[in-house]
Chain A
């Protein structure tokens, strides 16, 4: 039987502790142990970006991070973005702009976009393209996603004003 190790972290603002298999990736731990299946396993190689999450505010690929190294960390996934049943502006913009087709890349796209907007609230189109460069989408041709992120940034600015 594989050795199990305890991992305690803050998942979407909530203190959580689970036993995970030693050497398990954060992606597998989130999906199999923490019950958060919002992050997707596309390639498990760090190529597709579908598993992107924020760890202590930094965008990382959960398929290449070991769960044990996240002890005590703040982990944010797309599952934690909505509050009180209201979608995050990025989620709303993706829905409004038909920027998700099969939807598999969307959780990673949104987290990559969130990492951008957290640091650069008023990004240029080039900033958005650069921020999403590690996330692959095979459906949309990217344009609706880029537009959705720009529109979410405008919505945020409107809210702040």
Chain B
């Protein structure tokens, strides 16, 4: 059966249309059109919005706002967002990055959603239905979200505080074996004050490595200092198995890449 596209000028109009059964919000198309082409019959109507607020990027007083319709390519080429460029470029090839959006990435099932892993480390706030939800909470409840995600907001990390790595088996681009994002602040003597660590492919969606975060507090970023955190990073993980890698393999290589990221 053919699908219908309903396009609206404002987010509010699109939100109202999404209340009807059989509708799915269409962002960049890399997840939703693909699902339709693969035979997903759970929706019969695409709903999209051309509201310019969705593609807006602003930075103010150290705070960054990305509209949900901002593409990975727009982030990667924005000089003000340089710390995020690596995470944005980790998504797809050039054509996919011209289409894939911030909002879509928040809903991408593992092994996709590498940019959302970065947003978890950055402790982003997700705006949806007029509410501001912390990303950890948003991801847990995302399957039940009915309202349109309109954007994310987070504090721009200081230089060197944010790190990101995506591991693929093919170069330069491939589906994720895993991805890791860290936001680690140290005091002037190099002792870690705070740490947020996010992991991709270690569950069906991005998760935090809270045991490793705790193990890093008070430590230094040295081979010896990070040993307890490396030992703890796999605690509570439930990696996915797919044609790229088994859950066992992902679990085995996670501490190796985590160690390299911290010492790199």
Contact = CB atoms under 8 A, between A and B. Distances in A.
Contacts of A66: 5, 26, 29, 33, 46
A23 B96 contact: no
A58 B95 CA distance: 8
Interface string B167-182: 0000011000000000
A152 interface: no
A23 B93 CA distance: 24
Contact of A23 (B7, B46, B98): B46
Q: How large is the interface on B (under 10, 10 to 19, 20 to 34, 35 or more residues)?
A: 20 to 34
Contacts of A61: 30, 95-96, 99
B224 interface: no
Interface residues of A, number: 32
A64 B2 contact: no
Interface stretch (B34-42, B121-129, B157-165): B34-42
Contact of B48 (A24, A25, A69, A133): A69
Contact of A135 (B26, B36, B93): B93
B145 interface: no
B92 A134 contact: yes
B94 A64 contact: no
Interface stretch (A41-49, A73-81, A98-106): A41-49
B5 to A, nearest CB: 5
Given A3-B2, A22-B5, A131 B172 contact: no
B99 A60 contact: yes
A91 interface: no
7 contacts: A22-B4, A49-B95, A64-B34, A65-B99, A66-B5, A66-B26, A134-B173
Given A23-B36, A116-B94, 15 more contacts: A5-B5, A22-B4, A22-B5, A23-B3, A23-B46, A25-B37, A45-B38, A46-B30, A52-B95, A61-B95, A69-B7, A112-B94, A131-B94, A133-B94, A134-B96
Interface of A: 2-3, 5, 21-25, 44-46, 49, 52, 58-61, 63-66, 68-69, 112, 115-116, 129-131, 133-135
